[in-house]
Amino acid sequence: MKRKMSARESSDKDIVWQTPANPPEPNDFIFRNGRRYVRPYHFEFIAHVKSRWAGKTIVDLFAEEFKGRPYEYYVSAVESGRIQVDGQMVPISYIVQPSQKISHFVHRHEPPVMSWDVTIVQKEPEVLTVCKPASVPVHPCGQYRKNTVVGILQAEHHFTPLFPVHRLDRLVSGLLILARNANKADQFRQQIEAGKVHKEYIAKVTGVFPEEKVVNANVDYNAREGRSSVEVGSDQSDKPAKGKDACTKFTRICTNGTHSVVLCEPVTGRTHQIRVHLQYTGHPIANDTLYLSEEVVCRSTKGTTADRAAFAVATCNSSAPSFPHDDQVVKDVHYNEDFELDSMCTNCPNLAPKGYDGNEEALWLHCIRYSGPGWSYECPYPDWALLS
């Protein structure tokens, strides 16, 4: 389905639109200044009209739900057929109805990730283990499709299909287990759900951490803010604790008086559990800007940040937050010699989409080991774990 266009600036009649069926390829990636970029490509996003969308005009729907592009863009996209309903062009005044299929044909710019390799640790007939670098999401989500662990392994090592057994947050590094068939993935899933899998991480935290500590504190995740908080239930209060029960065991490995390296063994698996439980102990991860302070910053007013990157842009599957104005964004260098420009694209000629300042730092949290009945996989320690 995919081919390279010959013209410097594409016209719709020359475009072959990609879908999720198009596999990532080695020449999809561009490496610049220590980052891995994806060569922008034309892509068809498909969604079906949600109940809250019904009754709106096609232009108002996009302008209200997907604020990453100006209103005028959506007018032009409908008029030119870049936005269609049930495979047909419609007028800008068209009122959408429940369950209709909406296609949005876009020139897709994926966010960059650090250019570190996805290192293969162990290759077996049914299991692949890798050392995931920080900044790279595990699988396609939000703005990321090719710039993912699964996409990179497919493009550079021809591993397909792959079924991630567990997930790591995008800014977390370390061991990632991928099953190579659905049956093996299901075996792992059943063991995890039965509580038979033991997980171990290490973190570099502030201060001198106690030799051992167990935290039992509910974790309440706020999806809008992309941040968790903890609450401990009280026998003297009739008000139930918020969130889900969560337990993490911590053991200090070493300390230099300023920082400590801590072994983290989560018994449960809540969103940001280790990060927020370490904050709760008074020893947050030393470079975790999200949890170094108790203050909750309204990130929707701060622009698109690293932890919320996957929620931005018009992916047609969720409500996207507003993007910061151009003066809030550190502009990406124009690398338009590396890809074809699109006359309607609101991101060209930059490689990265709007809303990324490029100042991400790898979180000092690293998965080192997963073990279960009759099996154990592990990953080398990162350099930051060596305290001096």
Q: Which residues is 114 bridged to in the sheet? A: 35
The DSSP bridge pattern shows strands 259-266 and 247-255 to be antiparallel
Burial label, 240 (beta-carbon count in 10 A; 0-12, 13-18, 19+): exposed
Do 198 and 370 contact (CB within 8 A), yes or no?
yes
Active-site residue, from 12, 14, 28, 169: 169
CA atoms within 13 A on the CB side of 67: 13
Pairing of strands 375-378, 365-372: antiparallel
CA distance 208 to 254: 9
Angle between helices 58-65 and 71-80 (to 10 degrees): 140
Element (H, E) at 42: strand 41-48
Tell me phi and psi for residue 207, to 5 degrees.
75, -175
Assess whether 342 carries a catalytic annotation. no
Contact assessment for residue 135 and residue 358, using Cβ atoms and an 8 Å cutoff: no
- β partners of residue 175: 131
Catalytic (active-site) positions:
169
